Amino acid sequence: MQFDISRDFLDGLMIQQPPSREGLSEIRAAGQLHFLPSSPDGTMHTAVTAFALFIGQAEQPFARGGWRFLFTTDAKFDPKAGSNDPFFQHLMVLGTGKIMAQLNNLCMHSNLPLIPFEPGRMVTQPAGQQPPAQPPAQNQQAQQ
């Protein structure tokens, strides 16, 4: 199966001033890869990387974003059925990196510390295998 990213762009971004800067050293991250319906012929697809940052054990994120990918396949393909393909792990890391670049830009302008991002430390997990105190994933989940 041949995958090709046609376009990608920012889907949405939100950052809030944390109530306290005391806990900024403890930042949790959670991400998901969502699939939107494919084209009728099954060769054009849309995936959205959703990513959120939490301080300490807070339930609501102080920052979140989404990055949308439009991709094509050379044959009919169901992304939800084939979500374990390494291509989707690549989309998750790529989308998360693009979101983090934008979030750090906002942090810099909001006088907040930059958030380190190390893609090599990301762990992907299939849906249903989530660590404790993390929001549920639909297709794939990444943590840093």
Of 24 and 76, the structure prediction assigns the larger pLDDT to 76
Per-residue confidence (pLDDT) for residue 125, from 0 to 100: 65
Encode pLDDT of 5-47 as tens digits.
999 999 999 998 876 656 455 788 899 999 999 999 999 999 9
Closest of 139, 114, 135, 132 to residue 30, by C-alpha: 135
Measured CA distances, 49 to 60, 108, 122, 137 (Å): 18, 23, 14, 11
- Give residue 23's pLDDT: 47
Options 3.30.1330.10, 3.40.50.1370, 3.10.420.10, 3.40.50.920; CATH of 3-128: 3.10.420.10
Q: Distance (Å, rounded) from C-alpha 45 to C-alpha 117?
A: 28
In this predicted structure, what is the pLDDT of residue 54?
Answer: 87
All structural domains of the chain with their residue ranges: 3-128
User: What pLDDT, on a 0 to 100 scale, did the predictor assign at position 19?
Assistant: 65
Dist. CA 89–CA 84, nearest whole Å: 8
Global model pTM greater than 0.85: no
More confident residue, 4 or 139: 4
Rounded Cα–Cα distance for residues 26 and 23 (Å): 6
Q: Cα(18)–Cα(5) distance, rounded to whole angstroms?
A: 35
Residue 14, token pair as written in the block: 């939100």
Tokens (6 digits) for 117 = 């991002």
For the chain, give the mean pLDDT.
82
pLDDT in tens, 85-133: 899 989 999 999 999 999 999 989 888 888 888 877 776 666 555 444 4
For residue range 36-72, list pLDDT tens digits in order: 999 999 999 999 999 999 887 888 998 999 999 999 9
* pLDDT tier for residue 137 given thresholds of 50, 70 and 90: very low
3-state secondary structure 25-80: CCEEEEEEEEEECCCCCCCEEEEEEEEEEEECCCCCCCEEEEEEEEEEECCCCCCC
Distance between CA atoms of residues 92 and 95, nearest Å: 5
